[in-house]
């Protein structure tokens, strides 16, 4: 098998760039394709102009190119059943089937699963009728959290401080369909306070193995102000995620979730990303994702010492119990460089300067999230989140200083970033 595998990665963001970069380090891999990819991914993979939701075309491509393994980065194709399509055609693929990806695809499903199996999470009620939701709001304490049931680009969560805000929220989710069909059902949930932690895990249907912890900064502006975004930066590990908390989560959250899915006839193989809140009453699940986090992946994979392809294979083959995951005893910080105006409206097409500064720099990475090549072959901005600059260091403080130094190596018009990524760690 040495140096002979052909791998296809599905997706086009910073997460997929980090995945392709990590896969490229496997001694078993000969060639990587990425569909549709971006201008940065081209450094490590051949980009193919097929959309992530074009399952038929992707599977035909995989067959034509004799792809040995397909890795799906994004939530939409997983929830839409890409893994089932590939498996039906006898193609090897890493990720949950449609009946398991529902763990992310339906928040009402995941809440009911947690309730049934005693997995700690915020108290809640599900609704498929707006009048019933409005009536229920008369009985709750504020703030309260409203969640559209389905996928909504990470934007389907509303934290409402007053009854009026919550009523407006129900209208916009269920009546005006602000998040489309994702709002046909809705969860109304207790507001939790505490530190948030992201824990990505590999799962083979029975066994679950944790990657190192991370934390995301979702708000657009310093001090956690401004609108929610896909994520403005991350750091790893989280100093708040202690060994004691890890042991608790393994016993009460991670393994019980995997076992619950198996018991429901929805065997989960792939990544479960546990979004946790460390509350005064212990860790509780805020959300499940059925994929790697973005930009958590950009700080977790640079610290991972395993050959990731071997871990993917172990998940597919059900032999994850034989794998020991190891992470470097260091830290990493990722600062997202975004387009001015993100997450509302922003321009595209500005040339990006300074990317060459990252060439051959140990422990400094520029993962492309939204970039493209223009007609002259220049790399230009092509999205809200443009680049994720990651640096490692001996400590979180050192990694943070390195990441901010390296983010000064690149520039484009109207670039903005947060200046406090990982700052909370000063308090730890």
Nearest distance in Å: CB 63, ligand AMP: 35
How many C-beta atoms surround the C-beta of residue 424 within 10 A? 17
Nearest distance in Å: CB 63, ligand GLY: 30
- For ligand AMP, give the closer residue by CB, 29 or 160: 160
Question: Which uninterrupted H or E stretch holds 405?
Answer: helix 396-407
Burial (CB count <10 Å: 0-12, 13-18, 19+), residue 426: exposed
Closest CA to 390 of 11, 12, 21: 21
List the single partner that 391 binds among ligand AMP, ligand GLY, none, CB under 5 to 8 Å by kind.
none
List the single partner that 409 binds among ligand GLY, ligand AMP, none, CB under 5 to 8 Å by kind.
none
* Separation between Cα atoms, residue 194 and residue 393, nearest integer Å: 27
Residue 384 · residue 34 · CB < 8 Å: no
The residue number whose beta carbon is nearest to ligand GLY equals 293
List the single partner that 157 binds among ligand GLY, ligand AMP, none, CB under 5 to 8 Å by kind.
ligand AMP
- For ligand AMP, give the closer residue by CB, 110 or 306: 110
- Please report the beta strands in 105-259, taking only residues with DSSP state E, as ranges in sequence order: 124-127, 144-148, 157-160, 186-190, 195-204, 208-210, 215-216, 219-221, 225-228, 233-236
Question: How many residues appear in the chain?
Answer: 428
Long-range contacts, 369-378 (Cβ 8 Å, 24+)? 369/13, 369/14, 369/17, 369/38, 369/294, 369/295, 369/336, 370/13, 370/38, 370/339, 371/38, 371/39, 371/40, 372/38, 372/39, 373/39, 373/42, 374/349, 378/351, 378/352
- For ligand AMP, give the closer residue by CB, 53 or 153: 153
List the single partner that 294 binds among ligand GLY, ligand AMP, none, CB under 5 to 8 Å by kind.
ligand GLY
The residue number whose beta carbon is nearest to ligand AMP equals 287
Nearest distance in Å: CB 214, ligand GLY: 9
- For ligand AMP, give the closer residue by CB, 20 or 214: 214
Nearest distance in Å: CB 190, ligand AMP: 6
- For ligand GLY, give the closer residue by CB, 234 or 407: 234
List the single partner that 296 binds among ligand AMP, ligand GLY, none, CB under 5 to 8 Å by kind.
ligand GLY
Nearest distance in Å: CB 62, ligand GLY: 25
- For ligand AMP, give the closer residue by CB, 122 or 262: 122
Q: Which residues bind ligand AMP (CB under 6 A)?
A: 122, 145, 154, 157, 159, 189-192, 196, 218, 275, 286-287
- For ligand AMP, give the closer residue by CB, 196 or 307: 196
**Beta-strand pair 219-221/215-216:** unpaired
Q: Which residues bind ligand GLY (CB under 6 A)?
A: 154, 216, 231, 289, 293-294, 296
Nearest distance in Å: CB 6, ligand GLY: 27
Closest CA to 14 of 294, 231, 362, 341: 294
How many C-beta atoms surround the C-beta of residue 399 within 10 A? 27
Nearest distance in Å: CB 196, ligand GLY: 10
């Amino acid at each position: 098998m040495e140096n002979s595998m052909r791998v296809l990665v599905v997706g086009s963001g910073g997460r997929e760039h980090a995945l392709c970069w990590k896969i490229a380090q496997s001694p078993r891999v000969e060639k990587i394709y990425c569909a549709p990819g971006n201008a940065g991914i081209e450094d490590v993979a051949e980009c193919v102009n097929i959309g992530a939701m074009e399952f038929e075309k992707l599977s035909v491509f995989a067959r034509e190119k004799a792809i040995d393994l397909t890795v799906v980065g994004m939530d939409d194709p997983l929830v839409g059943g890409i893994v089932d399509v590939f498996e039906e055609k006898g193609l090897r693929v890493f990720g949950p089937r449609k009946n398991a990806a529902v763990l992310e695809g339906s928040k009402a499903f995941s809440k009911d699963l947690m309730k049934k199996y005693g997995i700690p999470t915020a108290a809640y009620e599900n609704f498929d009728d707006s009048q019933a939701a409005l009536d229920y709001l008369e009985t709750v304490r504020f703030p309260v959290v409203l969640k559209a049931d389905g996928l909504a680009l990470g934007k389907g969560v509303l934290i409402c401080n007053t009854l009026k805000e919550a009523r407006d929220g129900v209208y916009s989710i269920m009546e005006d369909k602000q998040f489309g069909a994702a709002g046909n059902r809705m969860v109304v949930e207790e507001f939790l306070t505490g530190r948030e932690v992201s824990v990505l895990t590999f799962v083979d249907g029975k066994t679950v193995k944790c990657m190192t912890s991370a934390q995301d900064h979702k708000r657009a502006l310093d001090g956690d102000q401004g609108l929610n975004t896909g994520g403005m930066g991350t750091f790893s590990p989280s100093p708040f995620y202690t060994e004691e908390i890890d042991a608790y989560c393994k016993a009460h959250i991670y393994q019980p979730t995997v076992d619950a899915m198996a018991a429901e006839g929805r065997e989960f193989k792939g990544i479960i990303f546990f979004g946790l809140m460390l509350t005064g009453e212990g860790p509780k699940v805020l959300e499940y994702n059925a994929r790697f986090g973005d930009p958590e992946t950009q700080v977790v994979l640079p610290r991972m010492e395993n050959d990731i392809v071997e871990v993917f294979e172990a998940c597919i083959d059900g032999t994850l119990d034989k794998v020991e995951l190891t992470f470097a005893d260091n830290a990493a910080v990722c600062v997202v460089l975004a387009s001015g105006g993100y997450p509302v409206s922003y321009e595209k097409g500005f040339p990006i300067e300074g990317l060459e500064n990252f060439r051959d720099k140990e422990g400094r990475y520029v993962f492309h999230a939204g970039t493209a090549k223009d007609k002259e072959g220049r790399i230009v901005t092509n999205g809200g989140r443009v680049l994720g600059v990651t640096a490692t260091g001996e400590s979180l403080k050192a990694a943070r200083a390195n990441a901010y130094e390296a983010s000064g190596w690149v520039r484009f018009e109207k670039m903005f970033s947060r200046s406090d990524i990982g700052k909370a760690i000063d308090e730890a």
